Structure 1
Amino acid sequence: MFRYLTKEQKRTLNVISFVEFSRMLGIFLVIPVIAIFAEKFTSSGYLIGIAVASYEISMAIFQIPMGKLSDKIGRRNAIIIGLIPYIIGNILSFYGNTITILIVSRFIAGSGAISSPAIAWAQETVETEKKSLSMSYVGASIGLAFLMGTSFSPEISALLGIRSVFLISAVVGLISLFTAFIPRIYNVNLTTSSVELKRPVMGIRVFVIALISFLVSVSAFIFFYLLQIYSVQSYGLSGYSFILFLPVIVGGGIAVIFTEKFRNKGTTMSKEISFSIMGTGLAVLSLIAFFDLSPWEISLLLIPFFTGYSFYELLMIPFLSRIIRNKDYGLGMGIFYSFQFLGSATGALIGGEIIGSHSNSSIIQISIAVCLLTVVISFLLSTRFTSQSLH
């Protein structure tokens, strides 16, 4: 399907995709083990939650400013500026030896919020009718980063130590920085269609989708937070690696297949989002079994979560590209990503609160209740406000 892109468009999208892949790979290498690493410096569930959340809080704060900055100075310039604190923050995390340094360094890394400029740049590279295609192009690289980072992070940590993931993240960030200089700026002359003119400056669906992203991120991060804590405590780092690898690969593969199937059939986005959220909800229920089942059984039960979450990630950005006006990409994507990372931070803080305030016997039940509440609300919002086709 990418044959409809010109050579210049593919060249620019390849660079954008590599920049996003490299940065997201660094992020997903850290997420599965950051709570375990924080435990080395403190036994406080609250401080661990803050350490996990600090990156997401920073990303939430700087998404909109970076999006607006990219509207003024250009997408590539904003990306280059954003990669610098990301690299510095990961280097500080690698050398840090206190929980305070970890919290501060993660906040610094998160301030390089380049998701909004990167997506906006990808959109400006193609004509209006090819926007979903460009998002699929970039989204595939993000999905690959998610699969690779999440599945290999525990294994790398077991072999080289958890600190190594921060150094690797800094290195891939540096590679991205140099890669961003490669393409000449290629923007198509976007014409304003009648459909484009009818779109509000920032329609209600953008904010509803952002709220859904917030809620899904809350439940997903609580899930990730507790998964790594209890898997490592029960089975060690190698056991955690075993538990995570199969569902990430299988769930991601299923998500890719279903994404293409739904896209080809032209089904509405509300059904696609609902499918994703229901998959997430099914996986959250598997937390009940953590103390009773073997690592192999837990791994199988995690497949619904990673299927639903991957499906959601693959579909959301292309959908947004159809409802945000061309001139509002920077701000619109900034709003979306701010809500998303704020949700991740909230999930991490809730996870830390649960662990810090409750006994083991109630932690799983409370976590499930919180996750299911966010899933139900997200489901209701998606069926009410997002009934638009991807086509």
Structure 2
Amino acid sequence: MLGLFLILPVFALYAEGLADVTPLLIGLAIGVYGLTQAVLQIPFGMLSDRVGRKPVIIAGLLIFAFGSVVAASADDIWGIILGRALQGGGAIAAVIMALAADLSREQRRLRIMAIIGMSIGFAFAVSLVLGPVLNSWIGVPGIFRLTAGLALSGIVVVLFVVPTPEKSVFHRDAEAVPGQFGKVLAEPELLRLDFGIFALHMILTALFLAYPLVLRDLGLVSESHWIIYLPVMLLAMGAMVPFIIAAESKQRMKSVFIGAVAALMLSLFGLYVFKSSLIGMAVGLLVFFTAFNLLEATLPSLIAKMAPGERKGTAMGVYSSSQFIGAFGGGLLGGWVHARFGIEGVFLFCGGVALLWLLVARGMSDPKQLSNFLLPVGSMDLQQASLLEGKLTEVDGVSQAVVIVEDGIAYLKVDLALFDEAALDPYCVSEA
């Protein structure tokens, strides 16, 4: 992910010197990885169920490295578009989640997934600061070559550091189930969240078609853009913490979420208004990333809360695909808007998308403070599973229980404030 993000703060400036370039093609080059990611990540996850996790991860990293080399060698915009599309073809996110599930016990899996999500967020924050610095040292082609090296080092880690699971099995809490797509896509609350991550990454991708150009026009050379990005990212990460606490601990998730979308919208219109002021652009970006980081953290949490436990993997698969399609759409539409209406039009476009999201999000239900809990229950028939579901829902704090016979697992929704985990011990079958 670091390799995908590193060019975001510098590519719009670099691409102006390429052959055959247009603003639309610049946007396509930045966002096209999202299209191939969205198309391939779920099929790759399913393939890994058949041939194993590590072979698919290694193949994906090789594809990613090859795409990076293609982009580094390109002397026109079309070569970079091809390279970025190939980078996205290394779509291993779903496979990595499945491998993490293979290597972790059900009760610890949510924590593992959260750590992986945090590492992606950290990679993005680092890329905004590191991208301009690396650009001044090695240029964008050098960044692509570095990205290829990172992918190859990832293969070494997979082969020699990451444990190999004794067996790979299907995990419906971490992987998509084809037969469940219809149910997930028919759930209004989940669709509202899918639209949210789609809009968020559409805005992010489109924004960086314009923002670096404004900084340059205000007299800040590209290698110094980190002077803006570093304090903004540090302050934004700190500023979001009280809101996360209010959302999760004080059960104000809906109001915090709606407020963050509104702040995102206002920051984007503010960037349009204050585009002639370097201080105004820095403050606008600070508000933007405070809201962005908050939304990026709360959206997957909301998906986990609202999706039934046995459909969580499918819901997260649709959510992740929506994110990547949003990145592709942001590049394509943002590039078109830039070509037709200039930099100012990009800021207004982003603000308009945020306004639409605000209107969609206003109708969301206030989520219940429920968490997912997986309980291994062993083999049983359908009648025994039905009886067990009834017994499990009688346990303090358990609001929903679904036993999937073929998995030998009970998928629970629990209120952690009331949940008596020890009461589940008689029903738990140890994973010896």
Q: Displacement, 1:88?
A: 0.8
Matches within 5 A, 1:198-209: 202-203=183-184, 204=187, 205-209=189-193
**Residues 181-190 or 340-349, more deviating:** 181-190
**CA displacement, residues 55-75 of structure 1 (integer Å, 9 cap, x when unaligned):** 122112212222322333343
Whether 1:366 aligns to 2:348 is: yes
User: Does the 8 Å contact 1:117/1:330 carry over to 2?
Assistant: no
Whether 1:86 aligns to 2:73 is: no
Q: Displacement, 1:368?
A: 4.6
Whether 1:338 aligns to 2:338 is: no
Alignment equivalent of 1:379, drawn from 346, 355, 361: 361
Higher strand share: 2
**CA displacement, residues 149-180 of structure 1 (integer Å, 9 cap, x when unaligned):** 11221122123222222122111111112212
| Inter-partner Cα distance in structure 2 for 1:266 and 1:342 | 33
Task: Please provide the CA RMSD for this pair.
Answer: 3.1
User: Does the 8 Å contact 2:338/2:346 carry over to 1?
Assistant: no
Amino acid at match of 2:258: S
> Whose Rg is larger?
2
Amino acid at match of 2:345: I
C-alpha distance 335-223 of structure 1, shift in aligned 2 (>3 A):
same
Whether 1:40 aligns to 2:33 is: no
User: Does the 8 Å contact 1:53/1:344 carry over to 2?
Assistant: yes
Q: Displacement, 1:386?
A: 6.7
Residue 9 of structure 2 aligns to a residue whose secondary structure is: coil
| Inter-partner Cα distance in structure 2 for 1:180 and 1:140 | 19
Runs of 4+ in 1 over 6 A off after TM superposition: 186-193
Percent same amino acid at aligned positions?
Answer: 22
Count how many residue pairs are aligned between Structure 1 and Structure 2: 357
Alignment equivalent of 1:316, drawn from 284, 291, 299: 299
User: Does the 8 Å contact 2:265/2:351 carry over to 1?
Assistant: no
User: Does the 8 Å contact 1:289/1:298 carry over to 2?
Assistant: no
User: Does the 8 Å contact 1:154/1:240 carry over to 2?
Assistant: yes
| Inter-partner Cα distance in structure 2 for 1:313 and 1:375 | 14
Output the TM-score relative to the length of structure 2.
Answer: 0.73
Whether 1:227 aligns to 2:205 is: no
Q: Displacement, 1:40?
A: 1.9
| Inter-partner Cα distance in structure 2 for 1:316 and 1:186 | 33
Alignment equivalent of 1:159, drawn from 137, 144, 148: 137
User: Does the 8 Å contact 1:270/1:388 carry over to 2?
Assistant: no
Amino acid at match of 1:241: W
Output the TM-score relative to the length of structure 1.
Answer: 0.80
Whether 1:96 aligns to 2:81 is: no
Higher helix share: 1
User: Does the 8 Å contact 1:213/1:340 carry over to 2?
Assistant: yes
User: Does the 8 Å contact 1:259/1:311 carry over to 2?
Assistant: yes
User: Does the 8 Å contact 1:231/1:239 carry over to 2?
Assistant: no
| Inter-partner Cα distance in structure 2 for 1:71 and 1:268 | 39
Matches within 5 A, 1:1-391: 24-41=1-18, 42-181=20-159, 182=161, 183-185=163-165, 202-203=183-184, 204=187, 205-234=189-218, 235-256=220-241, 258-259=243-244, 262-263=247-248, 265=249, 267=251, 269-294=253-278, 296-322=279-305, 331-359=314-342, 362-363=344-345, 366-380=348-362, 383-385=363-365, 387-389=367-369, 391=371
Q: Displacement, 1:239?
A: 4.1
Contiguous gaps of at least 5 residues in structure 1:
1-23, 194-199
Amino acid at match of 1:340: Q
Correspondence for 2:395: none
| Inter-partner Cα distance in structure 1 for 2:196 and 2:111 | 23
| Inter-partner Cα distance in structure 1 for 2:53 and 2:258 | 32
Q: Displacement, 1:329?
A: 6.2
**CA displacement, residues 36-62 of structure 1 (integer Å, 9 cap, x when unaligned):** 232221441122122122212211221
Q: Displacement, 1:216?
A: 1.7
